Amino acid sequence: MNKSITEKIAGTPIEIEEAFGLDAGTLANLRSDCKGPKYRKVGRKIIYMFKDIQEWLDQYTVQTRDTITIEK
């Protein structure tokens, strides 16, 4: 059975590109610079956990005036 990308918990750089819009080449550059999201290497295959990608992306959230909650 072939699961859709959104049902998987991990993916290859190409699947991450499709799911999150992060270019697979950019991910390769980040890996070579020891930067970017956590990944697993099984033999020569690179695997990213979707939760690790989401956590990494969450670090770059930019607050705008409309998203800041003001307590009264």
Q: Residues 46-65: pLDDT tens digits?
A: 999 999 999 999 999 888 88
Give residue-wise pLDDT tens across range 19-49.
Answer: 999 999 999 999 999 999 999 999 999 999 9
> Does residue 33 lie within any of the structural domains?
yes
> Does residue 50 lie within any of the structural domains?
yes
The count of structural domains within the chain is: 1
What is the rounded end-to-end Cα distance, in angstroms, of the chain?
A: 52
> Does residue 71 lie within any of the structural domains?
no
CA distance readout (Å), 57 to 5, 13, 33: 18, 15, 17
> Does residue 2 lie within any of the structural domains?
no
Per-residue confidence (pLDDT) for residue 1, from 0 to 100: 41
Per-residue confidence (pLDDT) for residue 66, from 0 to 100: 84
Q: Which residues span the domain enclosing 32? A: 9-58
CA distance readout (Å), 26 to 4, 6, 17, 29, 33: 23, 21, 10, 5, 11
Per-residue confidence (pLDDT) for residue 47, from 0 to 100: 97
